[in-house]
Amino acid sequence: MNSILYYPGCGVADQARSMETAARGALGALGWEMEEMERWNCCGTVYSLATDDLMRHVGPARILARVQDAGHEHLLTLCSMCYSTLKRSERFLTEERDRLDRVNAFLDDEPDYTGGVRVVHLLELVRDEIGYEAVEEAVQRPLSGLKVSPYYGCTLTRPRAVGVDDPERPRVLEDLLLALGAEPVSSPQGVECCGAYLTASAPEVARRRAGAIARAAARGGADLMVTSCPLCQYNLDTRQGEAPGASAHAVPSLYFTQLLALALGADPAVDEQVIDPRPVLAARGLAVEVKA
Amino acid sequence: MADAYPRSMRESIGRVEATRPERMEVEPQRLSLEERREVLDSFHPDYKEGGKRKLLVGPSRGEFVPHEMADLLEAYPLIDPDQVDLGQVDHEVDVLIIGGGGAGTVAALSAHEAGIPADRILITTKLRHGDSNSMMAQGGIQAADKEHDSPPIHYLDVLGGGHFGNDPQLVRALVNDAPEVIRWHEKLGVMYDKDTDGRMLTIHGGGTSRKRMHSAKDYTGLEIMRVVRDEALSRGIRCLEFCPTVELIRDDQGQVCGAVLWNLETEEYTVVRAKATVLATGGWGRLHIQGFPTSNHYGATADGLVLAYRAGAGLRDLDSVQYHPTGAAFPEQIVGLLITEKVRGMGAQPLNVDGALFVHPLEPRDVESGAFIRECSSPEQGGRGNGVVTPTGMVGIWLDTPMVDIIHGPGTFKRELSAIWRMYARFDIDPATDPVLTYPTLHYQNGGVVIDATGATAVPGLFAGGEVSGGIHGKNRLMGNSLLDFNVFGRRAGIAAAEWARQAKPGRPTLEHAANYAQELQGAGVDRERKAPSVLPEYRGERTLARMVDLI
Amino acid sequence: MSAEQDMIRIYIMGKAYEVPGGLTIMKAMEYAGYRLVRGVGCRGGFCGACATVFRRAGDYKLYADLACQATAEDEMYIAQIPSVPAERASWVLTELAPEDNPILALYPEVARCVACNTCTRACPQELEVMDYIQAALRGDIPQVAELSFDCVQCGLCAMRCPAEIVHYHVGQLARRIYGAYRAPEAGHLAARVQETARGDFDQELDKLEQMSKDELVELYRKRDVES
The domain that holds C57 is classified in CATH as 3.10.20.30
Predicted pLDDT at B195: 97
When pLDDT is averaged across residues B346-358 and rounded to a whole number, the result is 97
How confident is the prediction for chain B on average, in pLDDT? 96
Contact status of B74 with chain C (Cβ, < 8 Å): no
Contacts of B490 (CB under 8 A, 6+ apart): B102, B103, B104, B105, B106, B107, B110, B280, B465, B466
- Identity at A135, one-letter amino acid code: V
What are A52-55's contacts with CB under 8 Å, separation 24+? A54/A99, A54/A102, A54/A103, A54/A106, A55/C114, A55/C116, A55/C162
Contacts of C224 (CB under 8 A, 6+ apart): B209
Contacts of A186 (CB under 8 A, 6+ apart): A149, A150, A174, A220
Alpha carbon A67 to its chain's center: 20
For residues A263 and A181, give the distance between their C-alpha atoms in angstroms, rounded to a whole number: 8
Distance from CA of B156 to the nearest CA of C (A): 6
* Backbone phi and psi for residue C16, each to the nearest 5 degrees, phi listed first: -80, 140
Which residues, listed in sequence order, are joined to residue B278 by a DSSP beta bridge? B97, B463
Chains that touch A (3 or more CB pairs under 8 A): C
For residues C157 and A174, give the distance between their C-alpha atoms in angstroms, rounded to a whole number: 48
**Which residues in chain C touch residue A56, judged by CB atoms under 8 angstroms apart?**
114
**Which residues in chain C touch residue B169, judged by CB atoms under 8 angstroms apart?**
209
3-state secondary structure chain C: CHHHHCEEEEEECCEEEEEECCCEHHHHHHHCCCCCCCCCCCCCCCCCCCEEEEECCCCCCCEEEECCCCECCCCEEEEECCCCCCCCCCCCHHHCCCCCCCHHHHCHHHHHCCCCCHHHHHCCCCCCHHHHHHHHHCCCHHHHHHHCCCCCCCCHHHHHCCCCCCHHHHHHHHHHHHHHHHCCCCHHHHHHHHHHHHCCCHHHHHHHHHCCHHHHHHHHHHCCCCC
Residue C198 lies in a domain: no
B141: which DSSP letter?
Answer: E
Distance from CA of B273 to the nearest CA of C (A): 26
Predicted pLDDT at C162: 94
Write the pLDDT tens digit of every residue in C174-187.
999 999 999 999 99
For residue C104, how many C-alpha atoms fall within 13 Å in the half-sphere facing its CB?
A: 13
Write the pLDDT tens digit of every residue in B490-541.
999 999 999 999 999 999 999 999 999 999 999 999 999 999 999 999 999 8
Angle B261-C48-B397 from CA coordinates, rounded to 5°: 105
Asked if the Cβ–Cβ distance from C137 to A42 is below 8 Å, we say yes
Q: Are residues C121 and C49 in the same domain?
A: no
Residue C187 lies in a domain: no
Measure CB to CB from residue A59 to each of C114, C120, C139 and give the nearest one.
C114
Contact status of B419 with chain C (Cβ, < 8 Å): yes
Asked if the Cβ–Cβ distance from C114 to A109 is below 8 Å, we say no
- Between positions 336 and 395 of B, the ones with CB within 8 A of C are 337-338, 391-392
Query: Could you give the dihedral angle defined by the CA atoms of residues A8, A14, A19 and A24, in that order, rounded to the nearest 10 degrees?
Result: 50
Predicted pLDDT at C3: 45
Residue C190 lies in a domain: no
Q: Are residues C108 and C32 in the same domain?
A: no
Nearest CA in chain A to C162: A55
Write the pLDDT tens digit of every residue in C68-127.
999 999 999 999 999 999 999 999 999 999 998 999 999 999 999 999 999 999 999 999
Kindly tell me if the per-residue pLDDT of C1 is higher than 80: no
Confidence of residue B307 (pLDDT cuts 50, 70, 90): very high
In our burial notation (b when 16+ CB lie closer than 10 A, e otherwise), range C39-74 reads bbbbbbbbbbbbbbbbbeeeeeeebbbbbbbbbbbe
For residue B227, how many C-alpha atoms fall within 13 Å in the half-sphere facing its CB?
A: 27
Q: Are residues C71 and C98 in the same domain?
A: no
For residues C88 and C103, give the distance between their C-alpha atoms in angstroms, rounded to a whole number: 12
Asked if the Cβ–Cβ distance from C138 to A62 is below 8 Å, we say no
Asked if the Cβ–Cβ distance from C175 to B191 is below 8 Å, we say yes
Write the pLDDT tens digit of every residue in B8-17.
999 999 999 9
Task: Report how far apart, in Å, the C-alpha atoms of A234 and of each of A146, A196, A210, A238, C108 are.
Answer: 22, 8, 10, 6, 20
Residue C193 lies in a domain: no
SS3 call for A70: coil
Distance from CA of B189 to the nearest CA of C (A): 4
Measure CB to CB from residue A13 to each of C117, C121, C140 and give the nearest one.
C140
Query: Could you give the dihedral angle defined by the CA atoms of residues B443, B446, B449 and B450, in that order, rounded to the nearest 10 degrees?
Result: 170
When pLDDT is averaged across residues B169-190 and rounded to a whole number, the result is 98
Full set of structural domains in chain A with CATH: 2-122 (1.20.1050.140), 141-283 (3.40.50.11810)
The H or E element that residue A138 is part of is helix A132-138
Measure CB to CB from residue B164 to each of C92, C181, C217 and give the nearest one.
C217
Task: Report how far apart, in Å, the C-alpha atoms of B137 and of each of A123, B187, B342 are.
Answer: 55, 21, 11
**Which residues in chain B touch residue C90, judged by CB atoms under 8 angstroms apart?**
234
- Strand order from edge to edge, sheet including B213-214: B141-142, B213-214, B202-203
Pairing of strands C51-55, C63-66: antiparallel
Asked if the Cβ–Cβ distance from A14 to C117 is below 8 Å, we say no
**Which residues in chain B touch residue C66, judged by CB atoms under 8 angstroms apart?**
none
Q: Which of C56, C80, C104 is the last residue of a domain?
A: C80
- Return the higher-pLDDT residue of C192 and B333: C192
- Reference A217, options A263, A242, A257, A250; nearest CA is A250
Q: Are residues C28 and C66 in the same domain?
A: yes
Kindly tell me if the per-residue pLDDT of C4 is higher than 80: no
Q: Are residues C178 and C97 in the same domain?
A: yes
Q: Catalytic site residues of B?
A: 365
Contact status of B109 with chain C (Cβ, < 8 Å): no
When pLDDT is averaged across residues A231-238 and rounded to a whole number, the result is 92
Which residues, listed in sequence order, are joined to residue A245 by a DSSP beta bridge? none
Nearest CA in chain C to B229: C172
Asked if the Cβ–Cβ distance from B131 to C35 is below 8 Å, we say no
Residue C136 lies in a domain: yes
Is the CB of residue A267 less than 8 Å from the CB of residue A244? Answer: no
Kindly tell me if the per-residue pLDDT of A17 is higher than 60: yes
For residues A144 and C91, give the distance between their C-alpha atoms in angstroms, rounded to a whole number: 52
Instruction: Identify the domain containing residue C148 by its residue range.
Output: 93-182
Residue A216: count other Cβ atoms within 10 Å of its Cβ: 22
Distance from CA of A76 to the nearest CA of C (A): 18
Q: Are residues C178 and C118 in the same domain?
A: yes
Contact status of C113 with chain A (Cβ, < 8 Å): yes
Asked if the Cβ–Cβ distance from B130 to C71 is below 8 Å, we say no
- Reference B223, options B188, B251, B172; nearest CA is B188
Is the CB of residue C179 less than 8 Å from the CB of residue B190? Answer: yes
- Reference A196, options A168, A170, A231; nearest CA is A231
- Identity at B178, one-letter amino acid code: A
Interface test with B, best of C146, C192, C209 (most B CBs within 10 A): C192
Distance from CA of B508 to the nearest CA of C (A): 34
Q: Which of C35, C50, C80 is the last residue of a domain?
A: C80
Handedness of CA C93, C94, C98, C103 (dihedral sign): negative
Predicted pLDDT at C209: 96
Measure CB to CB from residue A10 to each of C128, C138, C162 and give the nearest one.
C138
**Which residues in chain A touch residue C131, judged by CB atoms under 8 angstroms apart?**
39, 41
Is the CB of residue A42 less than 8 Å from the CB of residue C113? Answer: yes
Measure CB to CB from residue C114 to each of A11, A39, A56 and give the nearest one.
A56
Q: Are residues C75 and C102 in the same domain?
A: no
- Say yes or no: ipTM exceeds 0.85: yes
Predicted pLDDT at B1: 63
Is the CB of residue B305 less than 8 Å from the CB of residue B449? Answer: yes
The H or E element that residue B64 is part of is strand B64-66
Predicted pLDDT at B2: 81
**Does A have 3 or more CB contacts under 8 Å with B?**
no
Distance from CA of B253 to the nearest CA of C (A): 34
Q: Are residues C176 and C98 in the same domain?
A: yes
Is the CB of residue C63 less than 8 Å from the CB of residue C73? Answer: no
Contacts of A71 (CB under 8 A, 6+ apart): none
Is the CB of residue B70 less than 8 Å from the CB of residue B289? Answer: no
- Reference A162, options A100, A84, A228, A76; nearest CA is A84
Residue C111 lies in a domain: yes
Is the CB of residue A156 less than 8 Å from the CB of residue A80? Answer: yes
Q: Are residues C173 and C150 in the same domain?
A: yes
Asked if the Cβ–Cβ distance from B191 to C209 is below 8 Å, we say no
For residues B444 and C46, give the distance between their C-alpha atoms in angstroms, rounded to a whole number: 17
Asked if the Cβ–Cβ distance from C186 to B186 is below 8 Å, we say yes
Minimum mean pLDDT range among B309-313, C20-24, C35-39: C20-24
Contact status of C148 with chain B (Cβ, < 8 Å): no
Kindly tell me if the per-residue pLDDT of A245 is higher than 70: no
- Strand order from edge to edge, sheet including A183-184: A183-184, A147-150, A224-227, A253-255
**Which residues in chain B touch residue C172, judged by CB atoms under 8 angstroms apart?**
226, 230
Distance from CA of A81 to the nearest CA of C (A): 15
Interface test with B, best of C12, C96, C188, C189 (most B CBs within 10 A): C189
Asked if the Cβ–Cβ distance from C150 to B536 is below 8 Å, we say no
Confidence of residue C2 (pLDDT cuts 50, 70, 90): very low
**DSSP-derived secondary structure for B221-251:** HHHHHHHHHHHHHHHT-EEE-S--EEEEEEE
Which residues, listed in sequence order, are joined to residue B322 by a DSSP beta bridge? B444
Residue C203 lies in a domain: no
Write the pLDDT tens digit of every residue in B377-429.
999 989 999 999 998 889 999 999 999 999 999 999 999 999 999 999 999 99
How confident is the prediction for chain C on average, in pLDDT? 95
Nearest CA in chain C to B222: C46
Kindly tell me if the per-residue pLDDT of B551 is higher than 80: yes
Asked if the Cβ–Cβ distance from C137 to A58 is below 8 Å, we say no
For residues A228 and A23, give the distance between their C-alpha atoms in angstroms, rounded to a whole number: 11
Q: Are residues C68 and C113 in the same domain?
A: no
Kindly tell me if the per-residue pLDDT of B488 is higher than 70: yes
- Return the higher-pLDDT residue of A48 and B137: B137
Predicted pLDDT at A241: 80
Predicted pLDDT at A247: 58
Write the pLDDT tens digit of every residue in B419-451.
999 999 999 999 999 999 999 999 999 999 999
SS3 call for B383: coil
Asked if the Cβ–Cβ distance from C47 to B135 is below 8 Å, we say yes
Residue C173 lies in a domain: yes
Predicted pLDDT at B300: 97
Contacts of B200 (CB under 8 A, 6+ apart): B145, B146, B182, B192, B193, B194, B214, C186, C188, C189
As for how many domains chain C has, the answer is 2
Asked if the Cβ–Cβ distance from C138 to A106 is below 8 Å, we say no
B353: which DSSP letter?
Answer: T
Write the pLDDT tens digit of every residue in B18-34.
999 999 999 999 999 99
Write the pLDDT tens digit of every residue in B89-142.
999 999 999 999 999 999 999 999 999 999 999 999 999 999 999 999 998 999
Confidence of residue A108 (pLDDT cuts 50, 70, 90): confident
For residues B36 and B367, give the distance between their C-alpha atoms in angstroms, rounded to a whole number: 6
- Return the higher-pLDDT residue of B463 and B333: B463
Kindly tell me if the per-residue pLDDT of A272 is higher than 90: no
Asked if the Cβ–Cβ distance from B297 to C225 is below 8 Å, we say no
Predicted pLDDT at A291: 57
Kindly tell me if the per-residue pLDDT of A261 is higher than 50: yes
The CATH number linked to C147 is: 1.10.1060.10
Full set of structural domains in chain B with CATH: 7-30+321-442 (3.90.700.10), 76-320+446-510 (3.50.50.60)
Pairing of strands C15-20, C7-12: antiparallel
Q: Are residues C76 and C100 in the same domain?
A: no
Predicted pLDDT at A50: 82
For residues C162 and A107, give the distance between their C-alpha atoms in angstroms, rounded to a whole number: 15
Contacts of C59 (CB under 8 A, 6+ apart): none
Which residues, listed in sequence order, are joined to residue B31 by a DSSP beta bridge? none
Predicted pLDDT at A246: 60
Q: Are residues C106 and C176 in the same domain?
A: yes
Q: Which of C25, C48, C80 is the last residue of a domain?
A: C80
Kindly tell me if the per-residue pLDDT of B224 is higher than 70: yes
Handedness of CA A76, A79, A80, A82 (dihedral sign): negative
In our burial notation (b when 16+ CB lie closer than 10 A, e otherwise), range A109-125 reads ebebbeeebebbbbbbb
Distance from CA of C224 to the nearest CA of B (A): 7
Contact status of C185 with chain B (Cβ, < 8 Å): yes
For residues A125 and A76, give the distance between their C-alpha atoms in angstroms, rounded to a whole number: 8
